[in-house]
Structure 1
């Protein structure tokens, strides 16, 4: 992502967080019945943050200005940002601190053995662009066979929005999709100089109205975990808690594991499927 796009992302994020916060939530005693704006005004954010209105306006307009860490922390407090939102703001405002991307390699044999030993727990490996590289047997049964999937159809975010067979299996698709997009925003900001992230974003934003709606909410999350309910004709409803683990800080790989929800009958259904 070039600097102009990054500043646009920063401007949109600040504006959305300003408009979501009411004067009362910000500690202001103002008459709201005559206000045409539901959130805070720019001058109110500037005043509460101890910065000038022209400076804050320039920041929210995406202009090329230097932002100190002290000012950013003041905006974090004023806008009541969560920990994930704070990190997202700092990444967008200070791109020089971004880590250099590491080239992806093939999945080591030791990690493939871990996948195979997961048993009835579906699991797969992804690279830093969210492409599925390897998976265990039960994961292929649940999520579909990606061994013959071309190009983007190996990408788990693309599959969530654009591969109907995969999308239709997920009963609580709305919750899963909102969680995925919030985490993708976090990763997108961290990899804003990576053209493959930009290409994936551009194509999804152009093709999927559902992705556009979720993206424009400006939600951000540093973790990728939650509950997922899958419906299979041969097994019925299967309920999981999923977690995504980075192999190590310097690794290009992550592992996503689906743990059957306790007392849901899912583990027994998976064992039956494997038999």
Structure 2
């Protein structure tokens, strides 16, 4: 999988497991978001890292969408002790998660637009896609790319060129 995602130098790619732990990234992903590092749980970082709030335009809506995605995974895996513990921890630590969880929204969130306020690259309008990986027990690749020819594409290319090798 690493060879595949590294072959996309101008598309940020992150492989998550069903708990949203980062399993792999390409070079561009951590340059885009420092929490796209192997071993980081992106659900926890999104909801508890103040840098995430500053990075994501529409952070509250992103939290709601992400919570709805987790709820869809929870419904598929009733009795999953780690997922139950993650939900309990975040419900206790974060009111946005708790409120969104209690609304019972469910989503498979496969594609859309995501806007970042990047400290070096400025405002980035990115398109994302979530590609489930068959036969992996809930792993997905998340891809973030800019529309060709846009200021966001130029900024993303500049980030890609400056990104250190992972």
TM-score, normalised via structure 2 length = 0.88
Runs of 4+ in 1 over 6 A off after TM superposition: none
Q: Deviations over 1:59-110 (max 9, x none)?
A: xxxxxxxxxxxxxxxxxxxxxxxxxxxxxxxxxxxxxxxxxxxxxxxxxxxx
Q: Which has the higher helix share?
A: 1
- Higher RCO (C-alpha 8 Å, min separation 6): 2
5+ residue gaps, structure 2: 162-166
The aligned runs of 1:19-58 (5 Å cut-off) are none
Q: How many Å separate the matches in 1 of 2:20 and 2:119?
A: 27
Q: From the superposition, tell whether residues 158 and 236 of structure 1 become closer, same or farther in structure 2 (CA, over 3 Å).
A: same
Equivalence for 1:226: 112
SS of the equivalent of 1:168 reads helix
Equivalence for 2:136: 251
Q: How many Å separate the matches in 2 of 1:167 and 1:133?
A: 23
The aligned runs of 1:18-97 (5 Å cut-off) are none
For the aligned residue pairs, the C-alpha RMSD in angstroms reads 1.8
Equivalence for 1:240: 126
The aligned runs of 1:121-270 (5 Å cut-off) are 121-145=11-35, 147=37, 154-248=40-134, 250-252=135-137, 253-261=139-147, 264-270=150-156
Q: How many Å separate the matches in 2 of 1:263 and 1:274?
A: 16
CA contact (8 A) 1:228 1:240 kept: yes
Q: How many Å separate the matches in 2 of 1:140 and 1:266?
A: 17
Structure label with greater radius of gyration: 1
5+ residue gaps, structure 1: 1-110
SS of the equivalent of 2:85 reads helix
Q: How many Å separate the matches in 2 of 1:263 and 1:218?
A: 39
Q: Which has the higher strand share?
A: 2
SS of the equivalent of 2:55 reads coil
Count of equivalent residues? 160
Q: From the superposition, tell whether residues 177 and 263 of structure 1 become closer, same or farther in structure 2 (CA, over 3 Å).
A: farther
Q: How many Å separate the matches in 2 of 1:261 and 1:180?
A: 23
